[in-house]
């Protein structure tokens, strides 16, 4: 089986601070991988390296056939293949929900207006918000805004979706809304990598869990490692209830 994402001895520093210290892992097509760990463990940095939002200092990353560590990486094509959703929704406040989604379809994919609109309404239907197409972001709850952000990424038909702590700013009810959308994507076979503190969600949805600590991949395995950790460090982390 060919990995859709492959990290090979990846290093990343910010100044003198080594954030990734030679991490290696693979993600297969259709797999859901949850990356967990304390703040500062390097998990979000690893995620951002996949989309070339951070440039690595050593090692290799392959993503959907792209050599992400290379200077000549085709960023336009890479970002068509990789969708990323952040904790902050990053929606344009002056545009309606529909226009937030149509924008990249028109300018990046160069789709005609009617086709872009059809795709926008389709992905809004997938996240349960088609009736909010003409609303503005300020008229939506946090959970709804996050679902629009997911729809915007889905509209580009990515091969892999990245989620960086997408529920950490939401209350439990709104978190449930967003997690239901991600769960539906998993059921549809979408390849996903999630940086999350939602241990219950990781148990339920992830095919594999990667525990990072101090810039290393410390422990990896199926979701059962959350109940039966193989290291005292993961046992301590899970025991905190984070």
Is the residue at 99 inside a domain? Answer: no
128: exposed, middle or buried (Cβ count in 10 Å: 0-12, 13-18, 19+): middle
Mean pLDDT of 43-63: 94
Is the residue at 135 inside a domain? Answer: no
Radius of gyration of the chain (CA): 18
Residues forming a β-bridge with 36: 211
Which pLDDT belongs to residue 240? 61
Residue 58 pLDDT > 60, yes or no? yes
Q: What is the pTM of this model?
A: 0.91
Which pLDDT belongs to residue 173? 81
Mean pLDDT of 179-184: 89
Report the C-alpha gap between 213 and 197 in whole angstroms: 14
Report the C-alpha gap between 153 and 95 in whole angstroms: 16
Q: What is the mean pLDDT of the chain?
A: 92
Is the residue at 205 inside a domain? Answer: yes
Cα torsion at 20, 21, 24, 29 (round to 10°)? 0
Is the residue at 153 inside a domain? Answer: no
113: exposed, middle or buried (Cβ count in 10 Å: 0-12, 13-18, 19+): exposed
Residues forming a β-bridge with 212: 217
Which pLDDT belongs to residue 64? 93
Phi first, then psi: give them for residue 176, nearest 5 degrees.
Answer: -60, -40
- Quote the number of domains for the chain: 1
Burial call 200-237: b when 16+ CB within 10 Å, e when fewer:
ebbbebbebbbbbbebebbbbeebebbeebeeebbeeb
**What is the tens place of the pLDDT at every residue in 1-17?**
679 999 999 999 999 99
Is the residue at 105 inside a domain? Answer: no
Task: Assign residue 37 the CATH number of its domain.
Answer: 3.40.50.300
Is the residue at 134 inside a domain? Answer: no
Is the residue at 178 inside a domain? Answer: yes
Q: Are 149 and 90 in contact (CB under 8 A)?
A: yes
- Domain coverage including residue 13: 3-91+158-239
């Amino acid at each position: 089986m060919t990995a859709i994402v492959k990290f090979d001895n990846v290093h990343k520093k910010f100044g003198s601070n080594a954030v990734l210290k030679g991490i290696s892992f693979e993600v297969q097509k259709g797999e859901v991988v949850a990356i967990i760990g304390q703040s500062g463990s390097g998990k979000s940095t690893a995620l951002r390296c996949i989309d070339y939002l951070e440039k690595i200092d050593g090692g290799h990353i392959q993503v959907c056939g792209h050599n992400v560590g290379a200077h000549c990486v085709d960023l336009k094509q890479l970002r068509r293949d990789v969708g990323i959703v952040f904790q902050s929704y990053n929606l344009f406040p002056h545009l309606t929900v529909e226009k937030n989604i149509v924008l990249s379809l028109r300018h990046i994919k160069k789709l005609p207006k009617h086709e872009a609109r059809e795709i926008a309404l389709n992905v809004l239907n997938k996240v349960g918000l088609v009736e909010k197409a003409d609303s503005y972001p300020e008229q939506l709850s946090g959970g709804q805004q996050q679902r629009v952000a997911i729809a915007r990424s889905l509209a580009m038909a990515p091969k892999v979706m990245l989620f960086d702590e997408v529920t950490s700013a939401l209350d439990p009810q709104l978190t449930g809304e967003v997690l239901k959308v991600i769960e539906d994507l998993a059921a549809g076979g979408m390849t996903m990598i999630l940086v999350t503190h939602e241990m219950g969600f990781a148990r339920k949805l992830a095919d594999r869990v990667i525990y990072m600590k101090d810039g290393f991949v410390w422990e990896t395995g199926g979701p059962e490692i959350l109940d039966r950790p193989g290291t005292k460090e993961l046992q301590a982390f899970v025991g905190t209830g984070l």
